[in-house]
Each structure stands twice: as C-alpha cells, then as structure tokens.
Copies of this chain bind each other. A is one copy, B any other.
Amino acid sequence: MPAPRRPKAIPDRAPNPFKPGAPPPPRIRIQDPTPAVDGGAWPAKRCVGDVVRVEADIFRDGHEVLKAVVRHRRVGARKWSEAPLERFDRHLGGDRWAGEFTVEGQGRHEFTIQAWVDFWGSWRDELTRKAAFGQDDLSGELSEGEVLLRGAAEQANGPAKQLIDRALKTLSEPKAPQEAKVDAALGEELDAAVEACQSRLEGTTHAPNLEIEVDRVLARFGSWYELFPRSFGGFTGVAKQIPTLKELGFDVLYLPPIHPIGEKNRKGRNNALLATKKDPGSPWAIGHHAHGGHDAIHPDLGTLADFDAMVAAAKAHDIEIALDFAIQCSADHPWLTEHPEWFHHRPDGTLKYAENPPKKYQDIYNVNWNCDDWQGLWSALLDILKYWVGRGVTVFRVDNPHTKPLGFWEWAIAEVRKDDPDVIFLAEAFTRRKIMQALAKLGFNQSYTYFTWKNTAWELREYVAELAHGPEADYFRPNFFANTPDILTDYLQHGGPAGFAIRAVLAATLSPTYGIYSGFEHFEGTAREPNSEEYLNSEKYESWKRDLDGPLLPFIARLNHARRAHPCLQRLDNVSFLGTESDALLAYAKRTGDDCIIVVANVDPHHPQEGTVIVPFESGLPPSFTVEDLLSDPTHPAVYDWRLGRNFVRLDPAHQVAHVFVVRAA
C-alpha cells in the first residue's frame, strides 16, 4: 500500500468571522425561567409577603461545577438582591435549578438568573476524587490550585485573605509533604473563604428580566358581599350595615352601579320592555339627562356627602367599597348629546343601540371603540375611574370587560395603578377561557370564574386543580362568587337550603377570594322562568327592603372567621384533593406551615352520602391526629380521631353538608 499523502492545504479556508480579541460566546445556557407568563410577555402576580419560587434550566457543556443565583429588585431600584439557586433534580439527571425570595413591597418587581463556573469548586472536586483514589503524584493538580488561590487572594481581605494566604504558604513550600498540601487545599474554611471572593468566571445572565406584579393581600384574599344600596335605604342605610358586615367577616362591600338611571326606554320589572312610573330601572342603564352619567350619583341613593360618609364608615371598619364600572350608556346619558361622536351611528346618522340579534337592548348604547376620537373616549373613561379613586374607592368590579378592547384595559389599569397601586380590578367576564386569561394577564387583579357552574366533585377537582396548579396560577386570581344578580344557577334553584350551604362552603374554602350577593343567605332560588338563570322579580329592576337577617348568615360568618383565623385558607396554591371513594364527596386539604385544614363536602344536596377521606403519606401529617370541625358549635366542638389512610365520613345534607376540619396534633 503506498504511503498516504497528507492533503497539503485545506481548501476554502473559512474566514474568521469573529472580532479580534473578542471573548468566546458564553458556554452556560439559562433557559425556561419561571415564573414567566407567556415566556415573560406579562408579569406574574404575587402578593406582599409571598415567597417567590424561581426555577430555570441551567447547564453547560463539560463537567465544570456551576453556581447560580436569582437576582431581584423593585423595578426602578438600583441595587439587586440575590438568593442562591440549587440544582434540585440532580438525582434524576436533570438540570433544573430552584431558589426563592420574598417580595416585601407592593408594585412591579423584576428578577433574572445569573450563573457562572465555579472553577475553584471544580478543581476541589477533582482533587478530592483523586486523593480518595490514592493517586501518587498530585503535584500538577496542586500547582493548579495554587494559581486559583492566588487569584482569590487578590479579591479577598480580612480573615478570608489570611486563610487563603496561609494555604498558599503551605502549597508553595517545596519541602511540605504532599499530604499536608492536600489537607490545606481541601479545608472547608478555605473553601468558604475562596467561594466568597472568587470572580464569577463565564458569568452569564438571563435576558430579558422577568417581571412580577406585587399586589396587596386583598388582591388574593377577601370575602365579598354584594348588595343593591337602594334596597338598604341608600348610602346612609348601607353605612349603618357596615358594623354588621364586619362582624360577619366581610372585607369588601361591592355595589352595583350607583349612578343615575336613564328614563328613556327604561326596563320594567322582570325586564319588561315598558317600565311603569314607579319602576326604578336597572342600575346598569347608566346616565340621566338631568342627573348625570358615570361621574354622578343616583339622587335616590343620597348625596355625594352621604357616599363619602359611607366610604368613611367602611374604612373605619376595614371594609373596602367596590364600585361597578360598566361602560355603557342609557338612552338618556349626557354623553349621547355631549359626545355623539363616541357612539355607533347608522348610515342615516341615527345612534345605534346595543343588540345581540335577535335581542335588542333599546335602553343601552355601547360606545364605538373605533370612533375617530377614541383617544378622547379613553381619557374620559380613565377620568371616571380616577374620580372615584379620588373619592376613596379602592376596588372596581368591571362589567363585561371582554366586550371592550383588551388594549384599553391594559392602558387604563396601568394608568390608575401608577398613582394608586392599591386599586384592585375584578374582571366580570364570563366568556371563553382564552379571553378571561388575556384579561388577567394584561392587568386585572382578580377574575370571575366558571366555579358558578362547577357542581360535581369531579368538575370541581378538575377546575380548581387547573387554577391552583396550572399556568393560570401565576396570573389568574379567582373570585368564587356563589351567586350574582345575573346568575341564579340551576343548582341553587333546586338544591334548597342545603344547596346554598354547600356552595358557600366550597366557595369560601376552595378560593381565597369569594363572594355572595344578598339574597343568598335567604335561599332565594326562584327563577323567572324554566331554564333561566334570572331571578323572578329580580332586584335588578326593583327596589327591595332588605336587612342582614338571612338565616344562612351565621353559617357564613363561621366560614369567614375560619378563613381569617387560618392562613392556609387564604391561598389557592396549597390545595390538594383527597380521595373519598364516593362520587358525591369532595375532600381537600390546604396546608401552610403548621396550619392545616381538611374540608369534606357532600355536593349532593338531596341525599346523605358516605365514604372515606384518604389522607396520604405525602400530606406530611402524623400517623394519627385529631380533627375539629370549625362548622360545629364552638362551645361543644365536634372532634374526631383521624389517621393517615382511610377515615370514614357520612354527611347528611338535612343536618350537615360539610366538615371544615382543623387538624390538631394527636
């Protein structure tokens, strides 16, 4: 065989594409950091005091030891804080790192991940393995360690520098035995000293930063009560109820629109097309030619001073007033004449009322978001929000936000919260999930949910698990309303008092924020007609005489007090469902630190149901423990001995629809 010829020159010598002297591209990769909503397009949501768990994939080619931290700060702050990340799935051959920090203040925060090569740690690891194996000659290795230590010494000072210098002296002493040098190099104190001062070589930082919107705790946890002020004697009457609402354990008092109601085309009782003289009209038909629009108060409810007094009374009792923000105008709204350019017109020039063919809403005019003066319209709407914030309103329940441009909400919520970060927006959107998610992502602090129609155990398990543990957990905060003036569910129509009690327990213990609309505690459950979710003689079209005397209120108060006493009920992310061996029993545990609640509910309002609650080993509970039912009479509490594994439960809705057990040590 002839001697091989080595090719003389490689053809197509590739031109060097890099800048002379440039460092090599980073070798560490940082990927998929969380929390990140849509890859970081939107801020994740947290509340003041929350521990934020941060994760990321961090890896590099080769075998060097890596180190990583999360860097975090308030947006606008100069200095970063740092917390360490650890690779937590090493035993699975994974590259996922995690760490955590606490968000202390309200407002927008940002974080990023930084990783670097721990050359000292890599070298130390190598030397440890070689020394353990008994390698004879370690002089080459030790000479490398000397170089690393010299580098560290340059950065160090104080006791750290003394430690490093001492080790360096041993390593550089030609006559010192190898064993002494190895011992000196592997000392744990030395390790800590070098670690603290070594440079972050190959330091790589994830870009862009990811954001977290930190709200006050009311954004996550609160008990809401909704009432029509006209049924309680206007603002002055409502103010008188505040101490009772406080005793009942409510945090937010939500009022449907308080503005003047149109006279033209007013709807009558039960949504009749023609109103009689006595019919007060729907509060959602906002605006009256004489009394004003969204910035005015209905004369029947009182004066602005009465309103202010009600807000002050609420504030004195730590209750917040939530107003309804409904962007629509009655046929009588001043804007129809002052700003006709903000509304839809037919080609013949006439104004166009709202429709959902074949339904017509002659009493309501929607604004034309695509009008030429959209900027004027947006500004006027923002002015309204800011006006009420100026009068002490801190919460808005936004009516049907999904029929208004998403971009408007993004802008308006940011504008309001720029000056008043305390203000909380609740999205009343019952629509397709993606749109509800989009509203939450763009800034709504809370959202109405599908809870209203989730009645069976499996539906509730599935839905709540999605909210608590799926991607929505980072940005979609549920507000579980058990009923609303618009929604009298089939379940409440046919479940009787037990049905109301069950829904109260579920709403109040599944979701950290929940609410009821007055009438709930009176078991009001008659629909206007079959297959309708409208109330017969709906309060939307009438004035009632109401008082806080419903028979279910003491039960609800007990729930509210349990919610307040038990931090674990103030979160959603800690819920885990338990097996019950029954289709009709729903059981779940919530645990935060030492505080643990186990709820068992019979979702069948008509029949006694029995089964077991299976407490798993992973619950972390001891083999046996005591549970005390917070729904039982506190002077003679019902107490049971429970254990890991199966615990028998029987719930007869005629007597008791659910247990809300607090777990006590055995």
> Which B residues are in CB contact (< 8 Å) with A147?
347
- Tell me if A379 is interfacial: C-beta within 8 Å of chain B: yes
| CA gap between A358 and B135 in the complex, in Å | 8
Of all chain B residues, the one with the shortest Cβ separation from A407 is B25
| CA gap between A32 and B132 in the complex, in Å | 52
Contact A29 B406 (CB under 8 A): yes
| CA gap between A129 and B133 in the complex, in Å | 84
Contact B295 A146 (CB under 8 A): no
- Tell me if A655 is interfacial: C-beta within 8 Å of chain B: no
Contact A61 B27 (CB under 8 A): no
Closest Cβ of chain B to A28, distance in Å, is 9
Of all chain B residues, the one with the shortest Cβ separation from A148 is B347
> Which B residues are in CB contact (< 8 Å) with A29?
406, 438
Number of copies: 2
Closest Cβ of chain B to A126, distance in Å, is 5
> Which B residues are in CB contact (< 8 Å) with A346?
140, 143-144
Among B13, B95, B379, contact of A432 (Cβ-Cβ < 8 Å) = B95
Closest Cβ of chain B to A172, distance in Å, is 11
Among B38, B357, B382, contact of A129 (Cβ-Cβ < 8 Å) = B357
Known: A39-B39, A383-B14, A435-B95. A6 touches B292 (CB 8 A): yes
> Which B residues are in CB contact (< 8 Å) with A2?
303
> Which B residues are in CB contact (< 8 Å) with A433?
93-94
Contact B59 A26 (CB under 8 A): no
Among residues 399 to 417 in chain A, which have CB atoms less than 8 Å away from a CB atom of chain B? 402-407, 411, 415
- Tell me if A593 is interfacial: C-beta within 8 Å of chain B: no
Of all chain B residues, the one with the shortest Cβ separation from A435 is B59
Among residues 365 to 384 in chain A, which have CB atoms less than 8 Å away from a CB atom of chain B? 369-370, 374-376, 378-379, 382-384
Closest Cβ of chain B to A87, distance in Å, is 11
Contact B94 A16 (CB under 8 A): no
Of all chain B residues, the one with the shortest Cβ separation from A144 is B347
| CA gap between A565 and B446 in the complex, in Å | 58
> Which B residues are in CB contact (< 8 Å) with A357?
126, 129-130, 133
- Tell me if A11 is interfacial: C-beta within 8 Å of chain B: yes
> Which B residues are in CB contact (< 8 Å) with A13?
379, 383
Contact A140 B296 (CB under 8 A): no
- Tell me if A387 is interfacial: C-beta within 8 Å of chain B: yes
Contact B403 A61 (CB under 8 A): yes
| CA gap between A63 and B382 in the complex, in Å | 24
Contact A4 B405 (CB under 8 A): no
- Tell me if A267 is interfacial: C-beta within 8 Å of chain B: no
Contact A405 B347 (CB under 8 A): no
Contact B4 A298 (CB under 8 A): yes
| CA gap between A215 and B356 in the complex, in Å | 50
Known: A6-B295, A347-B143. A370 touches B14 (CB 8 A): no
Contact A304 B5 (CB under 8 A): yes
Contact B369 A24 (CB under 8 A): yes
Contact A63 B356 (CB under 8 A): yes
> Which B residues are in CB contact (< 8 Å) with A432?
59, 93-95
Contact A303 B383 (CB under 8 A): no
- Tell me if A302 is interfacial: C-beta within 8 Å of chain B: yes
| CA gap between A369 and B61 in the complex, in Å | 11
Contact B291 A4 (CB under 8 A): yes
Contact with B along A461-499 (1 / 0, CB 8 A): 000000000000000000000000000000000000000
Closest Cβ of chain B to A64, distance in Å, is 10
Known: A59-B438, A61-B402, A140-B346. A303 touches B358 (CB 8 A): no
- Tell me if A531 is interfacial: C-beta within 8 Å of chain B: no
Contact A296 B4 (CB under 8 A): yes
Of all chain B residues, the one with the shortest Cβ separation from A370 is B24
- Tell me if A297 is interfacial: C-beta within 8 Å of chain B: yes
Among B22, B57, B63, B379, contact of A434 (Cβ-Cβ < 8 Å) = B57
Contact A130 B299 (CB under 8 A): no
Closest Cβ of chain B to A257, distance in Å, is 14
Closest Cβ of chain B to A304, distance in Å, is 6
Closest Cβ of chain B to A295, distance in Å, is 6
> Which B residues are in CB contact (< 8 Å) with A299?
1, 3-4
Among B24, B38, B234, contact of A32 (Cβ-Cβ < 8 Å) = B38
Of all chain B residues, the one with the shortest Cβ separation from A127 is B357
Among B14, B352, B386, contact of A379 (Cβ-Cβ < 8 Å) = B14
- Tell me if A62 is interfacial: C-beta within 8 Å of chain B: yes
- Tell me if A634 is interfacial: C-beta within 8 Å of chain B: no
Closest Cβ of chain B to A477, distance in Å, is 20
| CA gap between A375 and B300 in the complex, in Å | 81
Closest Cβ of chain B to A144, distance in Å, is 6
Contact A304 B7 (CB under 8 A): yes
Known: A347-B144, A350-B140. A375 touches B16 (CB 8 A): yes
| CA gap between A518 and B13 in the complex, in Å | 36
| CA gap between A423 and B218 in the complex, in Å | 59
Contact B405 A25 (CB under 8 A): yes
Contact B387 A4 (CB under 8 A): no
Of all chain B residues, the one with the shortest Cβ separation from A344 is B144
Closest Cβ of chain B to A266, distance in Å, is 18
| CA gap between A536 and B411 in the complex, in Å | 71
> Which B residues are in CB contact (< 8 Å) with A303?
1-2, 4-5
Closest Cβ of chain B to A57, distance in Å, is 5
| CA gap between A196 and B589 in the complex, in Å | 58
Contact B296 A6 (CB under 8 A): yes
> Which B residues are in CB contact (< 8 Å) with A384?
10
Contact B407 A27 (CB under 8 A): yes
> Which B residues are in CB contact (< 8 Å) with A438?
29, 31, 59
Chain A to chain B: the 6 pairs with minimum beta-carbon distance, closest first: A133-B358, A25-B407, A6-B292, A129-B357, A143-B347, A4-B299
Beyond the given pairs A11-B386, A20-B375, A94-B433, 5 more chain A to chain B contacts, judged by CB atoms under 8 angstroms and listed by A's residue number, are A4-B260, A10-B386, A14-B386, A17-B415, A126-B355
Interface pairs (14), CB distance under 8 Å:
A1-B234, A4-B298, A7-B295, A10-B295, A13-B383, A24-B407, A25-B405, A27-B407, A29-B438, A31-B434, A62-B404, A94-B434, A130-B357, A143-B348
